[in-house]
């Protein structure tokens, strides 16, 4: 059920700019060792005084105790780059994140669908300010007719440099976690470093979730769910048969 929810979320975000798909990773519980306990006269578990851990029966195998979702991991592979032609549409090719100022502090995103507010501030589609390398907002003059953004994030309005986009990355790919709205937050102690990726102007990075692949995963997961459901039903029927028929006293 958890895996289904993860796949459904991926499908819902196939058109979300900069979205990175999630993957539910399963882990097994430790198996239980099974021993035969009534193989000899010396091992009588029905008599408390005769029971001893030092006289254990032979091992006959292990009993699996099932699996659980150990982690929801994020696939951070590069999404397809789509040309839009808009001067404020920016994509990162390679490693890196834009830095955004939010009410909860600095956040990071791969969504470079930016706009210019009425006062000239560079903002996201949600109205949050995009920051430069010094952690300040970037203002683009309203009268600027031509805006260019270089590969390193330098922003020029006509012939004047008006800012340098902050572009950062983290040494540990698990140092940042999803918050929602295409934003990530850094875990405690994680320090951003200058990114090695390049910025492309007039381009947006599409979601790396593929509709066909996600649908195949959804169908496969549904089949697994069906199999598990039938196994539980069969076990319940066997228990019912044991209690109500086999165990009946004539």
Instruction: Note down pLDDT in tens along the chain; length 250 residues.
Output: 899 999 999 999 999 999 999 999 988 888 888 877 665 545 455 444 544 555 566 777 888 888 888 889 999 999 999 999 999 999 999 999 999 999 999 999 999 999 999 999 999 999 999 999 999 999 999 888 899 999 999 999 998 999 999 999 998 878 999 998 999 999 988 999 999 999 999 999 999 999 999 999 999 999 988 998 898 899 888 888 888 877 566 6
Structural domain includes residue 150:
yes
Structural domain includes residue 166:
yes
154, 167 Cβ separation under 8 angstroms? no
Structural domain includes residue 96:
yes
Q: Is the dihedral of CA 167, 172, 173, 179 positive or negative?
A: negative
DSSP letter, residue 202: T
Structural domain includes residue 152:
yes
Q: Structurally, how many domains does the chain consist of?
A: 1
Rounded CA separation 87/89 (Å): 6
Q: Is the dihedral of CA 83, 94, 161, 102 positive or negative?
A: positive
Structural domain includes residue 219:
no
Rounded CA separation 119/148 (Å): 19
Structural domain includes residue 236:
no
Rounded CA separation 148/66 (Å): 56
Structural domain includes residue 104:
yes
Rounded CA separation 79/227 (Å): 34
Number of H helices, E strands in the chain: 2, 19
Structural domain includes residue 153:
yes
Q: Is the dihedral of CA 94, 191, 107, 69 positive or negative?
A: positive
68, 88 Cβ separation under 8 angstroms? no
Query: Containing domain of residue 150, as a range?
Result: 81-205
């Amino acid at each position: 059920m958890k895996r289904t929810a993860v796949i459904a979320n991926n499908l819902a975000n196939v058109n979300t700019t900069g979205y990175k798909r999630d993957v539910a990773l399963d882990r097994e519980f430790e198996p239980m060792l099974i021993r035969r306990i009534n193989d000899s006269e010396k091992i009588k578990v029905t008599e408390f005084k005769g029971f001893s851990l030092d006289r254990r029966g032979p091992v006959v195998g292990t009993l699996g105790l099932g699996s659980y979702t150990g982690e929801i991991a994020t696939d951070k592979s590069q999404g397809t780059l789509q040309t839009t032609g808009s001067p404020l549409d920016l994509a990162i090719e390679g490693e890196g994140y834009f830095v955004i100022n939010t009410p909860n502090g600095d956040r990071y995103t791969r969504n470079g669908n930016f706009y210019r507010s009425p006062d000239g501030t560079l903002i996201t589609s949600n109205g949050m300010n995009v920051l430069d390398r010094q952690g300040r907002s970037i203002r683009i003059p309203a009268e600027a007719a031509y805006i260019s953004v270089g590969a390193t994030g330098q922003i020029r309005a006509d012939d004047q440099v008006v800012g340098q986009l902050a572009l950062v990355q983290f040494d540990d790919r698990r140092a940042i976690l999803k918050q929602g709205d295409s934003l990530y937050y850094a875990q405690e102690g994680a320090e951003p470093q200058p990114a090695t990726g390049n910025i492309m102007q007039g381009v947006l990075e599409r979601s790396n979730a593929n509709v066909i692949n996600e649908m195949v995963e959804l169908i496969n997961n549904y089949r697994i769910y069906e199999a598990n459901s039938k196994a539980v039903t069969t076990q319940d029927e066997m228990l019912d048969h044991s209690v109500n028929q086999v165990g009946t006293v004539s």
